[in-house]
A and B are shown apart, each in its own frame.
Chain A
Amino acid sequence: MKTTLFLLTSLAGAAIAAPAMTDRITPEEIAARQKSAPAVALVQPVAGAEAKVARPGEQSLIKQSDILSDGNNWTLVPKGAVLHIPAALSNRVGAKPVGTLLSWIDFLTVNRGWLFTEEVTFDQAAGKTPIPPSRHDFWKKNGKVIVAVHLGGPISVRTEPTTPVASIQ
């Protein structure tokens, strides 16, 4: 605790004190600073006992998403969030990111004419509860691109069940 308090005081003091002028520091002086104040030692892992951790590899939000575009603006939603695409609007989904990128809400606001949102429950998104067939019929009649949302945010919808269906022998 004392160390912490001292550190805070010294950092704050340095920040508000009138700046002092010094000659440019040398590499040797940096090495001396490092040697005089080594970092606090923490508990080291046992040699050879490598901890099992998983580091995030190369990831891409765009590759994990479906792109929606009206020709001038674009946005992206999780893959699996687009529930229905009328043939006449197929060029609006999966397009290249060209034009101005908008947030989902802004994109939806300017493209209400051809976009429709289907509010789904989490269980429906997880594939635990099916979306009623009546909704599928509605989407076909509606003639718009249908995007699944949960509380206003686009959400992926699993079409296959999350647990294997038991079969009766």
Chain B
Amino acid sequence: MKTYLLLGTLLCSHAHAAGEGFVNFIRQQQKTTGVVWSMPVVPVGNGPSQLPLEQDGALFQLWTIEQATAKDHLLDQKLVGAYLPSAAISIRTLDPYSAVPRTRADQPFTVTFNVSGLLSGAGLPEASTRVLLEHHIANYKGAQKSIPAAQALSGTPLSSSYLIANGTSEQTFAVTNLKAADATLATGEEHFVIHALGDDSAEQTQLATAHVQVWPVASGTIQGIAPGERVRFHAPALTVNLNDLYPRSNTWIQVYKGGPQLNTAGTRVTGSVLILDQDRSDSRMLTVSDYDTALTDDGTYTMELLTETPFGIDRLHHVTFVVDRKLEIRAQLGGVDAQ
């Protein structure tokens, strides 16, 4: 009997993560005989395993090695066997980024579990009637942008529960479950893993795993102009501090006449637009000057710092000031009487 395991899911979910500069390897370890086979790999696609399915099953591992550092990363692994339940996990977020599921600390995400091969009835061993779902969380430290799976899954899980029925089930989380002193700044990964219930001799019981990256909510300030300040001639130069911008985001400053009002379309300030499309959040500092053309008339203006992400537009900061360019000439007319 051959394991016609569709490895497409494995490959498709991670091939982009292991893109240019990486080389992928799939290893199949036969648990009974210990034979290890390196499967020929294409970047995206499906392929059946050609080795016989042994009683103890086979462990499939997807690895990638970074060219520049020769460092290996275990991207995913799955235990498959004739007498084991099978499972799959997928994670859906509001960010369409395809390389890895990613979201923001304040945004919802949904985890879908699919289990098959469970048996029901009296007198059956527990391992054939249920699988264990574990939820692990791991915060990024410093500039980290990924956590090795072995490390993320090594600690005590945030929660454990049993899946006792075949079919699909879902869990939706309104926001991240990562812990942080300031919940808006939580960043890291949430890992979900389904284990077969093994015996004492099992070295691996992981049937399926998936994880989602969580990035913090951006923040920012406009410095150089104070609330209520009167701008007389040239508008002052601005320093814009941007923290934790979402990996895929457009950020800019806009100005409009009047007091602050959300969802008001204003004039984009030249030199203030920052576009990010990368694999991690980022912090920047911008200097903006020569924006007098956006302040056409005298009056009250509001300047807003906005960032657009897959989740909407966030106003990070705003300041209202007054433009007053009227020239007042104070003069006095007088006469000199001739003697």
A residues whose Cβ falls under 8 Å from a Cβ of B: 3-4, 7, 11, 14-15, 19-27, 29-31, 33-34, 36-37, 39-45, 51-62, 64, 76-81, 97, 100-105, 122, 125-128, 150-156, 158, 162
Tally of B interface residues using CB under 8 Å: 81
| Residue of B30, B40, B316 with most partner-chain A CB within 10 A | B40
Give the number of A-B contacts (CB < 8 Å): 207
Say which residue of A21, A31, A125 sits within 8 Å of B262 (CB atoms). Answer: A21
Say which residue of B149, B172, B199, B312 sits within 8 Å of A37 (CB atoms). Answer: B172
Task: Check if B35 sits within 8 Å of A104, measured CB to CB.
Answer: no
Say which residue of A62, A78, A151 sits within 8 Å of B36 (CB atoms). Answer: A78
Say which residue of A54, A97, A104, A105 sits within 8 Å of B205 (CB atoms). Answer: A54
Task: Check if A11 sits within 8 Å of B92, measured CB to CB.
Answer: yes
Task: Check if A100 sits within 8 Å of B67, measured CB to CB.
Answer: yes
Q: A23-B314, A30-B106 are in contact. Are A60 and B36 (CB under 8 A)?
A: no
B residues whose Cβ falls under 8 Å from a Cβ of A: 23-25, 27, 30, 33-41, 50-52, 61, 63, 65, 67, 70, 72, 74, 77, 92, 94, 96, 105-106, 108, 110, 130, 132-134, 149-151, 153-154, 160-164, 169-175, 182-184, 195-200, 202-206, 217-219, 262-263, 306, 308, 310-316
- Chain A contacts for B153, CB-based, 8 A: 55-56
How long is the Cα–Cα vector from A156 to B51 in the complex, in angstroms?
A: 13
Task: Check if A79 sits within 8 Å of B172, measured CB to CB.
Answer: no
Task: Check if A104 sits within 8 Å of B154, measured CB to CB.
Answer: no
Task: Check if B312 sits within 8 Å of A53, measured CB to CB.
Answer: no
Say which residue of A25, A62, A76 sits within 8 Å of B217 (CB atoms). Answer: A25
Task: Check if B174 sits within 8 Å of A153, measured CB to CB.
Answer: no
How long is the Cα–Cα vector from A162 to B196 in the complex, in angstroms?
A: 26
Task: Check if B96 sits within 8 Å of A45, measured CB to CB.
Answer: no
Nearest chain B CB to A16's CB is how many angstroms away?
10
Say which residue of B74, B169, B206, B315 sits within 8 Å of A55 (CB atoms). Answer: B206
- Chain B contacts for A105, CB-based, 8 A: 40
Task: Check if B94 sits within 8 Å of A40, measured CB to CB.
Answer: no
Q: Which 3 pairs show the lowest CB-CB distances between chains A and B?
A: A42-B161, A37-B174, A78-B36
A-B contact pairs, 7 of them (CB 8 A): A11-B108, A19-B312, A33-B106, A52-B199, A103-B23, A126-B33, A154-B37
